[in-house]
Amino acid sequence: MSEAPQNPTRRTALAAGVALAASPLAAGSSQAAGATPLFDVPRVTIPIVGSSQVFPVRRIYCIGRNYAAHAIERGSDPTREPPFFFQKPTDAVQNVAPGTTADHPYPSLTKNYHHEIELVAALQTGGRNVPVEHALDLVYGYAIGLDMTRRDLQNGMAAEKKPWEIGKSFDHAAPLGPIHKVAQTGHFTKGAISLSVNGVVRQNSDLSKMIWSVAEQIAQLSAAFELMPGDIIYSGTPENVGPVVVGDVLVGHIDGLPELRVKIV
Ligand code: MN
């Protein structure tokens, strides 16, 4: 089907598109006034300690290879490489209440499912090209999280120079505890971060060993994307990532936050 340049139907559609783009509704919403959604999609939220409110999640950003010893074990030179980021789908969040052990399903397709214990920063304000010295002003609070990884799928895709999204972005791939407000905890720039499996310590490091600090990550991310309220950032894992199997109990620790406990089922 060919389209005439002066097709009146197309002109009308274009004009309508311009009108929509100029309206305030167009910013972040394609929903016309009065239209109702075909069905409801649940909003993803994270509990906030000491608050009746919850934190709505917009995007989940993650930094790769952000502790020198982990960068080396993944085959990178930690002194040379700029930071890189990836995303998990927002609905990969699995909320884990302190004092409970959440059942975490072993995902499909993998035979090498890895733990990565990480500090998570939650943003209350956004911005573009945020200077490092102002970057922490964007942070609302912090949580302890696991960047669960189907390592065999990640490595297999990387070896073929294909996107390794399938290794990182899947259902339940982002277990985490509740958010603690900065006003209550301060910022996390140092302190122990560790993970044990069945009582045996696997990962054990210090937040001060991050190659790129949370402030630097925010600054870098904001050069690539406009950050927005509700964005959360997984700030990288220390060395000694490794596999888990069904029945394993993972206990994550970050100084100043309650433990994160999950059981692989
Ligand atoms: Mn990670």
In a domain, 36, yes or no: no
Instruction: Report the alpha-carbon distance of residue 35 to residue 246 in Å, rounded.
Output: 45
Question: pLDDT for 47-95, tens place per residue?
Answer: 999 999 999 999 999 999 999 888 889 888 888 778 999 999 999 999 9
In a domain, 3, yes or no: no
State the amino acid at position 139 in one-letter form: V
Range of the domain at 127: 44-264
Count of structural domains, the chain? 1
In a domain, 5, yes or no: no
In a domain, 30, yes or no: no
Which tokens is 53 given? Answer: 């409110």
> Is the model's pLDDT at 26 over the cut of 70?
no
CATH number of the domain bearing residue 224: 3.90.850.10
In angstroms, what is the span from residue 108 Cα to ligand 1's centroid? 19
> Is the model's pLDDT at 151 over the cut of 50?
yes
Percent residues over pLDDT 90 in the chain: 81
In angstroms, what is the span from residue 181 Cα to ligand 1's centroid? 22
State the amino acid at position 237 in one-letter form: T
In angstroms, what is the span from residue 58 Cα to ligand 1's centroid? 19
Question: pLDDT for 158-172, tens place per residue?
Answer: 999 999 999 999 999
In a domain, 26, yes or no: no
**What integer pLDDT is reported at residue 133 of this predicted model?**
98
In a domain, 2, yes or no: no
In a domain, 19, yes or no: no
In angstroms, what is the span from residue 137 Cα to ligand 1's centroid? 23
In a domain, 88, yes or no: yes
**What integer pLDDT is reported at residue 23 of this predicted model?**
41
Question: pLDDT for 97-120, tens place per residue?
Answer: 999 999 999 999 999 999 999 999
Residue 46: Cβ-neighbour burial (10 angstroms; 0-12, 13-18, 19+): buried
Confidence of residue 22 (pLDDT cuts 50, 70, 90): very low
Cβ(188)–Cβ(169) under 8 Å? Answer: no
> Is the model's pLDDT at 154 over the cut of 80?
yes
